[in-house]
Structures are given as structure tokens and as C-alpha cells.
Amino acid sequence: MNLVSLSIGVFLLFSAACALFLRKKSMVDRLRGTRELLETVLRNGSFGERIPLSGNDELTALSASVNSVLSSCEDFAENIPDPLFITDEEGALHYINREARETLQYEKGELLGTRLFSLFEDEPRRLRHHGGDSPVFEGALLRKDGTTFPVELHSQVFTRGEKRLSLTVARDLAERKALEKNLKKIAWTERTTGLPNRANFIQTLDDLLESEETPFSAMLLDLDRFRNINNVLGPRNGDQVLSIIGGRIANCLSAEDAPACFGGGLFAVALKGRCDWESAAPVSRKIKENVTRPVSIDGQSVFPSVSMGVLLRAETSRSSAEIIAKTETALAKAKNKGIGHFALFSEDDAAGADILTSERELSQGLHNGEFVLHYQPIHRMADDSLVGFEALLRWNHPQRGLVMPDGFIPLAEETGLIVRIDRWVLAKACREIAVWEKALPARRGKFFISVNASGRSLSEENYPTHVLEATEEARILPTSLIIELTEGSLIRNPHDISEQLTRIREVGVSIALDDFGTGYSSLQYLNSLPIDKIKIDKGFVQRIFSGDEHRRLIKGILALAADLGMETVAEGIETDAEFRWLLERGAVYGQGYYLGRPESADVAFEKLKTAYGL
């Protein structure tokens, strides 16, 4: 009996051990399978894998939870509104989401194993100002039918053991490129005549000088008595006259010549390949004959007259600023003879040229304290409250009186004096902030002054140091200062300028992009540069009610700024209708004659006190 009992006990123990062994083996195998599946997901970036479910135990519940997480990840990736790709170290595709498949017109699984960059028309261009493990590329993705669309690629590299996978999201740039194209067109075109504007003409001159291959002459033409024409016919009809005259000038030129309109009845022409009077004279005479033909507007006849200043062998000049200065001198000589005359520039004229073209006079003006700052109010649109000022430079010339920046800034930039001028403006504005903060201690840090920085200043390595020193010497809060830069300074060297701006922002000073759209920089810079505010150029604002395309453009800029987390300042607001339209479309700040003209420091301070109820 004892032997039987012992045998039964041994059998039961053996059975229990076998059951435990088999159960353990089953659980270990299932856990091992779960681990291997997760490693496959991490290694290949595939969210479609699932753990088989069996039974009703804790391990099954765990497997169901893992499947739920994988399903959620897959749903998240599938429903991202931008094309998403996961690639291995060789760039081969392991996963593409629904948006990518539908956009590229491929079926699920059709592209797996294909190199991502083979789906592009050309090798995507890596943007210089991005680096590290999160590079950004720009290129044109190819659909299955052969059509393309521009995208910006944002990649993030992650590591699993020795494996490196890349997760790449493609953002459609079609709308941005369309906006960019419109901005470029407006930035380089004079709105009344449709001809290239002053900035465009200057770029043309710079290109001709840089090529050193094509001899050319330059002409500056002034429509005589245009102000009288405008007064008699009205601004709208005056614009029609300008448009007609612009067309006549363009029709007198060859395809290689470059016309432009500076506005206000002033035109310019670069005559390529014509370096002497014998070749330039026929064109000058043809322009004069065509421009002076009568123009009929609303039943009234206008008899235009034009004065011309001509510079031969313009390619021998040192810069575009010098070319324009010389043609201005020749034009002034022509107008001194009376209306309808022309004159050639000669070096003898240089001695009597405008005093504003003299580097020595400009340097002396800075040394003698002839420069002053005027301050234009900036309002918060939502409550129409005064929140700051833009410091605007003026030259209080002893002979010429108050000279606007257009009269001396180009020369200052050309000669390098702009660096000294920028430092003076920076220090002066900071001292003014200190005076105002001392008088209004309760409002310290509640208002700001913005100052302009040239591309030359921003390219200097120690410029951020000068900004910090100016705020520390004046003992003001860095948040009370805004540095404004133009788009033109970004185009030259975005990487270095980005580093400078980052250093400036680190001390608390804000950055604003001035005259947005007029200098035309690629919109891609906005996504990577440390910019806080976009200032919409007044030329756009003042054309709000000129057509739907202008309104669409401004709405696009406002939407872009909001998308990038930047505030907007609408410049040049002159009417209540413009103010209300911009407010309704989300403009944050406003600036312009409707809100206040540039005034002296004393007047600006009185406005500030009034705004605070003092």
C-alpha cells in the first residue's frame, strides 16, 4: 500500500512538473515572439506587424495592449496630413503613410525597398542653414504619372542598436512657392507701369558691372511737369499717363536693353552694348519723339515733355550707386537748360555734383552731430494702443535742411560709413529708452524702440557685442529694443547672419524682418532664422483695395507668419479702412500716418505719456 501511494505521489509530482514546464515554455516562447516582433518594428520602422492572440491569460492581455499601441502608432502615421517616410541607412523605404501613397499615386507596399531620393526629379538640395541629425532638404517629388510638386523635407534620425532609421516628413511648398512668386513680382515691379522698379534696376546695374563683359550706357528720364499733370487730371488719370509713357519708352528699346520706372515720373534705362554717343543718340531721339506725342485721357489732351541725363561708358563706374548719382547730375544739368533737354555726364560735372554724393560731407555730418532720430508710433491693432516706436534716421544738413534716408543711406552703405551710423543710431535709441524709462518707471519694459541694422553691420562678428554693450551702458531692459533687418541682408549670407541674430536674441533683444517682400528673400529662411516679427511693406498695405490679388497676397503673408509663430507689423497704414481690414485679418501691430507720423524725441515722449494717461 505504501508503495502504491508513493508511486501515485511521484506520478502526480512528475505530471505537475511537466505541466509547469510546458506552460513556462509556452509563456517564454510567446514573450520571445513579442520581443522579436517589437525589435522588427524598431529595426524596420513597420507599424503593420501584430502579435497573434490566443487564450485568455495575462500574456494575451499584454499582447493585446502591444497590438493596440502598434495600431495607434500606425493610425497616427497613416493620418498625418503630410507625406511621411521611414528609411534605413541606405535610404530604402520601409514605410510610407497614406498621404504619401495617395499624393504620389502608388498602391500600398508598391514603393517598399525603393530609395526615397529616387522619387525626386533631381537630388534634393540640403539647406545650408540646417545641420546635425535633423537635416532639411528641398526638392520636387515625382508622382507616378510623371508630374512634380515642390516639397520641404524634414528628417529625424534615430538609432536602434547599430541600425539607424530616418523619419522624413514632406511639406508641400506649392502655396509657399506661389506666394514667393507673387512677392518677387511685386518686389521687383513698379505697380503703375508694370516696368522693373528702382531696386530691380539697381540689381541690373550690379549684374552688368559684375560681368565686366558688356559695355553699356545709362539714362535717367524725368517727365517734365508731371506734378501739374497729376493735379489737373487727378492721380488715377496721372497713373494712366505714366503707364502710357512707360510703354512708349519700352517700345523704343531692344530686347537687351533694360527700362525701369522709379515712380513720380522718373524713368531709367540701361542701354547694353552702347558705350558712345553715336550709338546712344538714336535711342535718345527715338524716346524723345515717342514720349512727346500727345496723350488723350478722358477727352483731354496732354502734351508730355521729357528731360534726359545720359552717362556713357557706365561700366567704368565703381558701383550702381555711382552710376545713378552721375545720371542724376546729368539730368539736373539738362533741367537747368529748361524743359525737354538732355545732357551728358562728364567728369567735370563731378566737382559740382550734389553734396550728398560726397563721402567727406557724410563723414563730417556724423562727426558734427548733424544726424537726428525721429520716432514713428507703432500700435497694437486689437486695442489701438501705443506700444512702441521705430527710430528713423534723418540728416539735418546745414545747407540742405532735413534730408531723408534715401538721400544718403545708399552712399553710406557703399562707403562703409553705414557701420558707424548704425552704431550711433543703436546707442542713441538706447539712451532715449533710458530717459523715457526713468521718467516713467512704472512703465519700464512696457514699450520698445526698434532700430534698423544694415547688412554690413550684421556681417560684422562683433555686432551682437555692440548691441549688448549699448543696452548695458544705457541700463535698459534688452526686451525694450528691437533690431530690424531687411530681406536683402539675408540673401547674402543666411547662415552667418542666423548665428548673429541668435546671439542677439540670447540677450533678450527681439528681431524684426523689415519691408517684407520688397527685397525678395526665399520664404524658406523664415522657417529657420530667429525672427520674431514680420513687417509687411507699406507698398502692399496701400494696394489692399487695388485688387483681389493684393488682398490674397497680404492674407497669405499673415497666415504664413501665424503658422510660423511670428507677429506681424503692417506698415504704411493711411486710412481707417486699411486699419480695419488688417485688424480683421489678424495683423498684430500697425504703423503709418493714420496712427502717427515720425516726430522728434520730445513729441514722441509726450505721445507716450498721453497713451499712459499722464
Instruction: Check if the beta carbon of residue 533 is closer than 8 Å to that of residue 569.
Output: yes
Regarding the domain with residue range 357-611, which homologous superfamily does it belong to in the CATH classification? Answer: EAL domain (3.20.20.450)
pLDDT (tens digit per residue) in 290-307: 888 888 887 777 888 899
- Which three three-digit cell numbers place residue 250? 519700352
Provide CB contacts within 8 A for 491, sequence distance 6+: 519, 520, 521, 522
Q: What are 91's three cell numbers? A: 535610404
Is the pLDDT at 128 greater than 70, yes or no?
no
**125-139, 361-375, 388-402, 533-547, range with the lowest pLDDT:** 125-139
The pLDDT of residue 160 is 59
Mean pLDDT over residues 338-346, rounded?
80
Q: Find, among 522, 419, 520, the residue nearest to 203 by Cα.
A: 520
Same fold, 84-172 and 178-353: no
| Confidence class for position 351, pLDDT limits 50, 70, 90 | very low
Which range scores top for mean pLDDT: 67-71, 113-117, 324-328? Answer: 324-328
Of the pLDDT bands very low, low, confident and very high (cuts 50, 70, 90), residue 356 is very low
Q: Which CATH class is domain 178-353?
A: alpha beta
In this predicted model, which residue has the larger pLDDT, 262 or 41? 262
The neighbour count for residue 61, using CB atoms within 10 Å, is: 12
Q: Are 216 and 280 in contact (CB under 8 A)?
A: no
Answer for the pair 216, 205: CB distance below 8 angstroms, yes or no. no
The reported pLDDT for the residue numbered 521 is 52
Q: Is 385 exposed, middle or buried (0-12, 13-18, 19+ CB in 10 A)?
A: exposed
SS3 for 605? helix
The amino acid occupying position 19 is: A
Average pLDDT over residues 399-421: 80
Please name every residue paired with 93 in a beta bridge, in sequence order, or none if there are none.
87
| pLDDT bucket at 65, cuts 50 / 70 / 90 | low
Q: What is the pLDDT of residues 204-220, one digit of tens each?
A: 999 999 887 788 999 99
> Cell triple for residue 400?
540742405
Name the residue among 279, 278, 341, 339 with its Cα closest to residue 309. Answer: 341
Three-state DSSP class for residue 228: helix
Per-domain residue ranges of the chain: 2-79, 84-172, 178-353, 357-611
Mean pLDDT of the 66-92 span: 72
Across 394-421, average pLDDT:
81
Q: What are the C-alpha distances in Å from 196 to residues 173, 193, 219, 328?
A: 27, 9, 15, 19
Q: Summarize pLDDT for 370-393 with one digit per residue, the tens.
A: 999 999 999 999 999 999 999 999
Instruction: Quickly list H helices, 519-547.
Output: 538-541
Summarize pLDDT for 263-283 with one digit per residue, the tens. 888 999 999 988 787 788 889
Predicted confidence at residue 358, as pLDDT, reads: 61
Task: Specify the higher pLDDT residue, 406 or 522.
Answer: 406
For residues 454 and 418, the answer to whether their CB atoms sit within 8 Å is yes
Average pLDDT of span 210-232: 84
pLDDT digits (tens, 9 = 90+) for 144-173: 888 888 888 888 877 755 677 888 888 888
Least confident of 417-431, 512-526, 576-590: 512-526
Q: Model's pTM, two decimal places?
A: 0.60
Q: Strand locations in 530-572, DSSP E?
A: 533-536, 567-570
pLDDT at 58 > cutoff 90: no
Residue 203: is its pLDDT beyond 50?
Answer: yes
Task: Express as a percent the part of the chain with pLDDT over 70.
Answer: 80
> Which pLDDT does position 601 carry in this prediction?
95
Q: Which among 124-133, 219-228, 248-257 has the top mean pLDDT?
A: 248-257
With a cut of 80, say whether residue 597 has pLDDT above it: yes
Q: Are 517 and 554 in contact (CB under 8 A)?
A: no
- 357: confidence class by pLDDT, cuts 50, 70, 90: very low
Q: Please name the CATH architecture into which domain 84-172 falls.
A: 2-Layer Sandwich (3.30)
Q: Is 240 left (phi over 0), alpha (psi -120 to 50) or beta?
A: alpha
d(CA 522, CA 61) in angstroms, rounded, equals 53
- When comparing pLDDT for 521 and 564, which is higher? 564
One-letter amino acid for residue 258 of the chain: A
Q: What percent of the chain clears pLDDT 90, i.e. is strictly above it?
A: 30
**pLDDT exceeds 50 at position 353:** no
